[in-house]
């Protein structure tokens, strides 16, 4: 057997053995995949990273098209899209948290060869996520006006924001199942299924953005609300695809009855998930507060809100490799810890972290230089362009620290150390960024520039704290 053949196994040693452990149908389920606990680390990193990078790119393009299409309508719609994007993400925080807890448990189980256990954790996670999604949909549909009001939306965009939020509430269930199912595939190295699903989701979303907003053929022009409808349709199709993959693949025991929640498994998922949920709440609520601070700048508020919306979308391009590496780190570290090899897990973490620093720094330099040209592609308003350029040039200098925070944070989450990442990110946001932004922007009168300064200072601190947490090594001893 060649060296390459020795490293290729069926994925439940990348998940395909999972079903054979239950049904004995081993030969029917073979599919090549790299064992992430042995072999060349760079090869394993590449195997996990490139599909995730493409997925991140597709997500980025969807966000860009959202803002681009909104820009054809008005700056108010652009501001509403950015504001609601932050708010709607709060509704899927529990799904993201469940996916992180599930990934950590399933990756450990796969690394340890406990494939039946991995299937059961996946099954419980999907059921739990579906129940939570149903519980959140109804309040989102009924109290959307109150939510928009409490979030502090400027009066001129509240109605638009409420309509956006109501459509997003209808798609919560699909969003939950899509997020969790993608994480389950990643946890055992099956990255090409999420890649296929998210490719279809992105294409549908982008095409429908234009078709539903402006009208085409038999489709009427829905205006700005078409942006939200396009997203809802796309995620529903993606969820259906992943459920089909489960049904006809090696994960089919997920559908076995009885469909009852396991208190023991849910507790284990919850123990890892709740700090992640609080982290996401802290970060996204903080982002909403940041938007609220900008909304208090009087006549400059709409310009500042549109600038940060554009800036987030543009800056997102250099987050693509970082978040792809974040997801790769979580799986690689989780599986290697499950295989009883913490030293290899740490080496993989540092390799991925340094890769992120190099990639993000290089891309940040390009955006810093071309900031004005890039900002001009997102708005025809001179004031918005100028503020977007300021945002970009301030924030590009903090990108190496962002890379370390994102990538090493993913590794810590894969190890189950979600409390560590929660404290690091929460401290940077609520003890540094927001108080400093308020003082600089409103009390000292620096306006939007004060907010941009607060953002880079907090990111420096966040990156340093995340490095210290990872280097401390307590994550190697966590039992999940």
Mean pLDDT of all residues in the chain? Answer: 84
pLDDT digits (tens, 9 = 90+) for 34-58: 467 787 888 889 889 899 889 988 9
pLDDT category, 274, cuts 50, 70, 90?
very high
Q: Output phi, psi for 356, to 5 deg.
A: -60, -40
Encoding tokens for residue 228?
Answer: 């939200």
Rg of the chain on CA atoms, in Å: 22
Q: Note whether 169 and 213 are within 8 A (CB).
A: no
Crossing angle for the helix pair 115-142 and 93-111, nearest 10 degrees? Answer: 180
Q: Note whether 11 and 190 are within 8 A (CB).
A: yes
What percentage of the chain reaches a pLDDT higher than 70?
91
Asked if residue 33 has pLDDT above 50, the reply is: no
Asked if residue 32 has pLDDT above 60, the reply is: no
Length of the chain: 480
Asked if residue 5 has pLDDT above 50, the reply is: no
pLDDT digits (tens, 9 = 90+) for 378-419: 877 888 899 999 999 999 999 999 999 999 999 999 999 999
Q: How many CB atoms lie within 10 A of CB 114?
A: 18
Asked if residue 212 has pLDDT above 60, the reply is: yes
pLDDT digits (tens, 9 = 90+) for 149-177: 776 666 767 777 777 778 888 888 899 99
Distance (Å, rounded) from C-alpha 443 to C-alpha 185? 49
Which of 25-34, 193-202, 235-244, 467-476 has the lowest average pLDDT?
25-34
The per-residue pLDDT for 25 is 32
Q: Note whether 475 and 409 are within 8 A (CB).
A: no
Asked if residue 356 has pLDDT above 60, the reply is: yes
Report how far apart, in Å, the C-alpha atoms of 65 and of each of 160, 197, 198, 386 are.
18, 19, 16, 21
Residues 248-255 have a mean pLDDT of: 80
Distance (Å, rounded) from C-alpha 106 to C-alpha 21? 15
Residue 426: name the closest of 468, 471, 461, 473 by CA: 461
Looking at per-residue confidence, does 17 or 469 come out higher? 469
Q: What is the DSSP letter of 474?
A: G
Distance (Å, rounded) from C-alpha 450 to C-alpha 436? 8
Q: Which residues contact 443 (CB under 8 A, 6 or more apart)?
A: none
């Amino acid at each position: 057997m060649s060296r390459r053949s020795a490293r290729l196994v069926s994925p439940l040693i990348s998940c395909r053995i999972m079903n054979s452990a239950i049904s004995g149908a081993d030969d029917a389920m073979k599919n090549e995949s790299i064992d992430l606990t042995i072999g060349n680390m760079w090869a394993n990193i590449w195997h996990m990273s490139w599909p995730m990078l493409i997925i991140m790119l597709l997500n980025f393009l969807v966000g860009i098209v959202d803002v681009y299409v909104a820009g054809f309508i008005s700056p108010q719609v652009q501001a509403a899209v950015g504001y609601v994007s932050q708010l709607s993400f709060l509704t899927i925080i529990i799904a993201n948290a469940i996916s992180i807890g599930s990934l950590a448990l399933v990756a450990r189980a796969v690394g340890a060869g406990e494939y039946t256990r991995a299937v059961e954790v996946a099954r419980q996670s999907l059921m739990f996520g579906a129940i939570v999604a149903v519980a959140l949909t109804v309040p989102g549909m009924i109290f959307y006006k109150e939510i928009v009001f409490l979030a502090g939306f400027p009066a001129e965009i509240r109605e638009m924001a409420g309509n956006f939020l109501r459509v997003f509430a209808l798609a919560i269930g699909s969003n939950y199942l899509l997020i969790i199912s993608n994480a389950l595939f990643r946890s055992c190295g099956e990255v090409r299924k999420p890649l296929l699903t998210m490719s279809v989701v992105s294409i549908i979303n982008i095409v429908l953005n234009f078709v539903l907003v402006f009208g085409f053929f038999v489709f009427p022009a829905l205006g700005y609300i078409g942006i939200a409808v396009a997203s809802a349709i796309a995620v529903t199709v993606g969820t259906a695809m992943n459920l089909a993959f489960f049904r006809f693949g090696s994960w089919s025991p997920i559908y076995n009855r009885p469909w009852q929640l396991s208190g023991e498994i849910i507790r284990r998922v919850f123990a890892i998930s709740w700090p992640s949920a609080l982290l996401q709440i802290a970060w996204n609520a903080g982002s909403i507060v940041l938007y609220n601070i900008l909304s208090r700048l009087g006549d400059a508020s709409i310009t500042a809100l549109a600038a940060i919306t554009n800036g987030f979308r543009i800056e997102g391009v250099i987050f693509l490799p970082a978040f792809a590496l974040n997801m790769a780190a979580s799986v690689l570290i989780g599986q290697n810890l499950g295989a009883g090899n913490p030293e290899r897990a740490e080496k993989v973490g540092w390799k991925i972290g340094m890769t992120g620093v190099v990639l993000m720094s290089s891309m940040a330099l390009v955006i810093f230089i071309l900031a004005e040209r890039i900002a001009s592609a997102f708005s025809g308003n001179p004031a918005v362009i100028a503020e977007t350029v300021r945002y970009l040039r301030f924030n590009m200098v903090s990108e190496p620290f962002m890379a370390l925070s994102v990538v090493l944070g993913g590794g810590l989450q894969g190890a189950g150390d979600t409390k560590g990442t929660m404290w690091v990110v929460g401290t940077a946001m609520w003890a540094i960024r927001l108080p400093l932004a308020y003082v600089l922007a409103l009390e000292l009168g620096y306006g939007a520039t004060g907010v941009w300064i607060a953002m880079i200072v907090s990111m420096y601190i966040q990156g340093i704290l995340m490095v210290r947490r990872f280097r401390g090594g307590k994550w190697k001893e966590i039992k999940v």
